[in-house]
Amino acid sequence: MHGRKLMQVTMAAALVMLLAVPAAAGGAGVTSGDLATLQGGADLGFEITGRVVMRRVPGDAGKTFVVVQVRGLDPNTVYPVHVHNAPCSATPPGGGHYQDQIGGPVDPVNEIWPTVETNAAGNGLGVAVHGHRARPDAMAVVIHYPPATSIRLACADLT
């Protein structure tokens, strides 16, 4: 399969997995948002689009599933992507990283990191599955610039 078709098939499979999680266990919540290029991304010449979906499954075995589909990034690159604790309109956009244990470790277990790897066309997909149900303060997803992660390229509010 070629780039675009593979991306579509992969995204479809990820969304099926995301939506197939049983909702009966206390009413799973789904939030989503469209990615928009931030000033940091525009300054570097990016025009980023895409979609983010988060599914929060409650209960003792609560889980969080996040799928990020993005276009307009550099080809064949791994991008750090994190769930953040404020909306995209905050300063800085998205606020800080969302953490399950606030003040705990900065790692992919305590935080939600749906890292994106792009193909030759600059399109990418990231998926994260976590063993905790994200609280309401998991409000946005931010794509960071790999050479300088303090630069925020794009953001999506989870509403």
Which domains are present in the chain? 3-157 (2.60.40.200)
Which helix (H) or strand (E) segment holds residue 63: the answer is strand 63-71
Q: Please name the residues in contact with 11: beta carbons below 8 A apart, sequence gap of 6 or more.
A: 67, 69, 125
Based on its alpha-carbon atoms, the radius of gyration of the chain, rounded to whole angstroms, reads 15
Read off the pLDDT band of 61 (50, 70, 90): confident
Single pTM value for the model: 0.85
CA distance 67 to 81: 11
Read off the pLDDT band of 19 (50, 70, 90): very low
Compute the half-sphere exposure of residue 61: CA atoms within 13 Å on the CB side of its CA: 5
Question: Do residues 125 and 143 touch, judged by C-beta distance below 8 A?
Answer: no
- The mean pLDDT of 128-148, rounded to a whole number, is 96
